[in-house]
A and B are shown apart, each in its own frame.
Chain A
Amino acid sequence: MDSFQLLLDGFAGALTPVNLMYALIGVTLGTLVGVLPGIGPAMTVALLLPITFTVPPTSAFIMFAGIYYGGMYGGSTTSILLNTPGESSSMITALEGNKMARRGRAAQALATAAIGSFVAGTIATALLVVAAPAVVSFAISFGPEDYFALAILAFTAVSSVLSRSVVRGLASLGFGLVIGLIGIDQQTGQARLTLGLDQLLDGVDVVVVAVGLFALGEALYVASRLRHSLPEVVPVGRAWMGRTDWRRSWLPWLRGTAFGFPFGALPGGGAEIPTFLSYAAEKRLARGVAKEEFGKGAIEGVAGPEAANNASAAGTLVPLLTLGLPTSATAAILLAAFQQYGLQPGPQLFDHNPALVWGMIASLFIGNTMLLVLNLPLAPLWARVLRIPRPYLYAGIVLFAALGVYALNGSVVDLVALFLLGLLGYAMRRFGLPVAPAVIGLILGPMAEIQLRRALAIGAGDVTTLVRSPIAVILLLLALAALVAPLFRKLMTRRRTEPIVPASRED
């Protein structure tokens, strides 16, 4: 009960009116930057770092935690409403979320995202309190061969989101893999596919690709359709989640949390992979109505990934606080913030600065609650964004996409890349290629490559190192199962033929 007492003390320290104000500013700002494509929580916290010169640590961390959680949540809003994810971690949310919105269930999608984020954030923060040491020893036991196996598992698991046409899915994945090759090869320091442009030496940022393919591609596609047909009238629908929605959401929230938290704690995990896995798992587990609805707007496909990305944000704090190991861009900047206060996160932080650590953990609970309070009532209001005439809406998206991407590095080359990718995204939609696999390839490809090469280098070229760790073996077996299971099932139920679905855009 010792840590419980410390947590209560933390609440006592964090629950001052001034700190609550900082929490409110944090979640509001976080939600906004999450909504804006390109601008993410990492950059926002980085730009606000100078406040550490003047503001006491507890207040600053309360605000930063609010921005982090808010950013994870905010990205889902545009994903759902406009099919334009603000962050790469909310890309998967767009798959089902946007379909739900088109069917007039935007408010429900937003609500399940908000409540799921809250549930996941709260559970994951509680796990941070009780399970941090166990999770951290699991996380550092992960070697390069395990990450490689993990990437393979993620590849096979997300093959289910590729599309009905395997060839188109693979073509899109190929785009992503090629874009992922651009830049300096980490292991050897050699430049690849940079066309002699210095600005491409660091590669093309995943944000640029996600925003280009999704947001810009979508805007161009909508623009190209405007003259052909009247825009489809999107019903706004009922405002709140019904009983069925709750029943269908709570398990995916919990499963999403279970994916997100450990992945956040993994130094190479990130917020994207657990969303892929959560989506794949929900799709596989879907039965009855849900199974019919997948691909046309199943609430499970929103609830799971949204819970996963928020849980991963809390997971990130485990290695950060206990080892001083930043596992995401935002965590790296939080580490810098700790150092600004002369604190070194690591094994000794909990002993030396209990007040600050527990104050910060308490602030995570506060921030999370604040986020729900702020966003749940807004869900039906946000849903009405869909009533804005399309030309204005998409013009705004193009503007903010360009602004966000330019703000990333202040580089014109990034802008050119954004517009080229936007054209590519438009062409892919026009010719029925799904967009998500490209971004998945971009995220997983470089990870699989670098970890494979690291594992082989450490093992001095011995291929058996890849299967020497039990974790790697388990993950590879799971990957194999994910590949074989559908074939097996198909053989078992041969007689059932798939109903022919009219060709529709898949994205």
Chain B
Amino acid sequence: MRLRILAAVAALSVAAVSGCGAGSGSDGGGTGALRIMAPASPGGGWDQTSRTAEQALKSVDPKRKVEVFNVPGAGGTIGLAQLAGEKGNGNLLMTMGLVMVGAIEQNKSKVTLAQTTPIAKLTEEYEIIVVPAASPFKSVADLVAAWKADPKKVSISGGSAGGTDHIAAGLMAKAAGVDPKQVNYIAHSGGGEALNELLGNKVSAGISGVSEFAEHVKSGKLRALAVTSAQRLPDLDAPTLKEAGLNVELTNWRGFVAPGGLDEAAKKSLTDQVTKMHDSQVWKDAVAKNGWIDSFQTGQQFADYLNAEQTKVKAIIAELGVVS
């Protein structure tokens, strides 16, 4: 008897837990539900973007069934492989971004973005280069001088090897005339762990997304040397890398792709839905709240952008020596 209660309670909770995640798609009529794959664990950037998009899509058309599901693993390439298997499915979107472009190269993924249909670029975030408040480096020029003297002595803390932060470090080294392979890059599972070493003044410099470090720059615990954007960012007193003398621009962007083999009608339908979502108040509010930069782009424009990014990332990943 106790078993039955236990089982009932357990089943209920599982239903509750899974219900929140996947939603039950069978009820309700009309065309099939739009599914958005977040190729990462719940809680991260891609997941957050996907779930915000879900809310925004529902705000545009309350009757539309939208569900987000997670396929985590290997920088999103596990999700990418799954998406490739859904060829011709016009009701599926996958959130992705620069990190996936890097992971495809690094993991030598069999499936590439060529097997997807680019739909839209949504948001951008820039990288920031910081040093501990006690650091002798006052500018990018100081950092570069030390780099040229002995790259091994300049430890740079950031996110995963081959990720956006590492790519930024590599591009900076290259622009400064230092071999990217010589960069003494200390990889972490995320910006948070890297932050700890910076606050404790254990490393020479740190690179991560602006939002990861901005609070600490404002409180004076870290000093911003530069940002990777084309123009200076509002309310952040830091030059761009170009102003600081390194010809580097890097954007950590996020967007949507759909499975390959879509006909024009399906492609147009998805693009229209995403465009409407982007125009919604819910989306605009979320962009403002999360400190994202709106960089909406669709169609050929996005496809070209994606191609250019792949070329850029492929070159630098090879030079960093992180291809597995």
What residues on A are CB-neighbors of B73 within 8 Å? Answer: 198-199, 201-202, 409, 411
Shortest C-beta distance, B149 to chain A (Å), equals 12
- For residue B187, CB closer than 8 A to chain A, the reply is yes
Partner of A457, one of B7, B14, B186: B186
B254 adjacent to chain A (CB < 8 Å): no
B162 CB–A CB distance under 8 Å? yes
Q: Is the CB of A29 within 8 A of B186?
A: no
Q: Do B81 and A267 touch across chains, with their CB atoms under 8 A apart? A: no
Query: In the complex, which residues of chain B have a beta carbon less than 8 angstroms from the beta carbon of A186?
Result: 160-161, 187-189
Q: A189-B324, A198-B81 are in contact. Are A39 and B17 (CB under 8 A)?
A: yes
Chain A binder among B41-49, B85-93, B135-143, B261-269 = B41-49
- Which of B43, B152, B199 is close to A49, meaning CB atoms less than 8 Å apart? B43
Known contacts A323-B195, A410-B71, A461-B152, A346 near B202 by CB under 8 Å: no
Q: Are A388 and B107 neighbours in the complex by a CB distance under 8 Å?
A: no
CB–CB B155/A29 < 8 A: no
* A295 on the B face (CB < 8 A): no
CB-nearest residue of chain A to B82: A410
Confirm or deny: A325 has a beta carbon within 8 angstroms of a beta carbon on chain B.
yes
**Contact across chains for A323 and B199 when beta carbons are under 8 A apart:** yes
Distance A45 CA – B43 CA, assembled complex (angstroms): 9
Q: Which residue of A lies closest to B18 (CB)?
A: A407
Chain A residues lying within 8 Å of B9, measured Cβ to Cβ, are 32
Interface residues on A, range: 35 or more
Could you tell me if A347 and B215 are in contact, using CB atoms closer than 8 angstroms? yes
Q: How far is the CB of B169 from chain A (nearest CB, A)?
A: 13
Q: Across the interface, which residues of B come within 8 angstroms of A184, CB to CB?
A: 74, 107, 161, 324
Instruction: Flag the segment in A152-160, A216-224, A336-344, A436-444 that touches B.
Output: A336-344
Contact between A47 and B42, CB atoms less than 8 A apart: yes
A164-200: which have CB < 8 Å to B? 184-191, 198-199
Take A140-B200, A385-B2, A400-B10 as given contacts and tell me if A332 and B192 are in contact as well, using a CB distance cutoff of 8 Å: yes
Q: For the complex, is B190 an interface residue (Cβ under 8 Å from A)?
A: yes
| Cα–Cα distance between A6 and B48 once the two chains are bound (Å) | 32
Q: Which residues of B contact A488 (CB under 8 A)?
A: none
Q: What is the CA–CA distance of A392 and B184 in the complex, to the nearest angstrom? A: 56
Evaluate contact between A189 and B106: CB separation under 8 angstroms: yes
Q: In the docked arrangement, what's the CA distance between A342 and B211, Å? A: 12
Instruction: Tell whether B16 is near chain A: CB-to-CB under 8 Å.
Output: yes
Q: Give bound CA distance, A400 to B214, whole Å.
A: 43
B218 (CB) vs chain A CBs: closest residue: A348
Q: Determine whether the beta carbon of B193 is less than 8 Å from that of A268.
A: yes
* In the complex, chain B residues whose CB is within 8 Å of the CB of A461: 152
Q: Of residues 327 to 379 in A, which have CB atoms within 8 Å of B's CB atoms?
A: 327, 329, 332-333, 335-336, 339-340, 342, 344, 346-348
B14 in complex: contacting residue of A36, A144, A347, A392, CB < 8 Å: A36
User: In whole Å, how far is A51's beta carbon from the nearest beta carbon of chain B?
Assistant: 8
A157 CA to B80 CA in the complex, in Å? 44
Q: Within the assembled complex, what's the spacing in Å between the Cα atoms of A327 and B193?
A: 8
Contact B322 A188 (CB under 8 A): yes
Q: Is A344 within 8 A of B20, CB to CB?
A: no
A487 within 8 A of B: no
Complex CA–CA separation, A396 to B4 (angstroms): 11
B44 to chain A, nearest CB (A): 8
Residue pair A187, B187 in contact (C-beta under 8 Å): yes
Contact of B72 among A50, A141, A332, A409 (CB under 8 A): A409
Which B residues touch A39, using CB under 8 A?
A: 14, 17
CA–CA, A45 to B221, complex, Å?
Answer: 31
Name the CB-closest residue of A to B198. Answer: A140
- Determine the chain B residues whose CB is within 8 A of the CB of A457 once the complex forms: 155, 184, 186
Instruction: Decide if B78 touches A325 in the complex (CB within 8 Å).
Output: no
B51 touches A33 (CB 8 A): no
A35 to B211, alpha carbons, bound, how many Å? 36
Instruction: Tell yes or no: A384 within 8 A of B by CB.
Output: yes
Interface check A420, CB cutoff 8 A: no
- Contact (A36, B188) CB under 8 Å given A202-B73, A323-B199, A411-B73: no
CB distance from A369 to the nearest CB of B (A): 22
| B17 and A407 contacting across the interface, CB-CB below 8 Å | yes
How far is A50 from B56 in the complex, measured between Cα atoms in Å? 12
Say yes or no: B161 contacts A347, CB within 8 Å.
no
| CB-CB contacts below 8 Å: A261-302 with B | 267-268
* CB contact between B200 and one of A143, A396, A403 (< 8 Å): that residue: A143
Given contacts A184-B74, A335-B192, A344-B215, 9 further A-B contacts (CB under 8 A): A42-B43, A46-B41, A140-B199, A186-B161, A189-B160, A199-B74, A323-B216, A340-B289, A344-B214
Q: Which residues of A contact B (CB under 8 A)?
A: 29, 32-33, 35-36, 39, 42-50, 53, 139-144, 184-191, 198-199, 201-202, 267-268, 319, 323-327, 329, 332-333, 335-336, 339-340, 342, 344, 346-348, 381, 384-385, 387-388, 392-393, 396, 400, 403, 407, 409-411, 454, 457-458, 460-461
> Which residues of B line the A interface, CB within 8 A?
2-3, 6-7, 9-10, 13-14, 16-18, 20-21, 41-44, 47-48, 51, 54-55, 69-75, 77-78, 81, 106-107, 109, 150, 152-153, 155, 160-162, 166, 184, 186-190, 192-193, 195-197, 199-200, 202-203, 211, 214-216, 218-219, 221, 289-290, 322-324
In the A-B complex, the 7 residue pairs with the smallest Cβ-Cβ separation, listed nearest first, are A46-B42, A189-B161, A189-B322, A346-B215, A201-B74, A333-B43, A191-B324
A-B contact pairs, 14 of them (CB 8 A): A49-B51, A189-B187, A189-B322, A190-B324, A191-B107, A198-B81, A199-B74, A267-B196, A332-B190, A340-B289, A344-B215, A348-B218, A385-B2, A403-B14
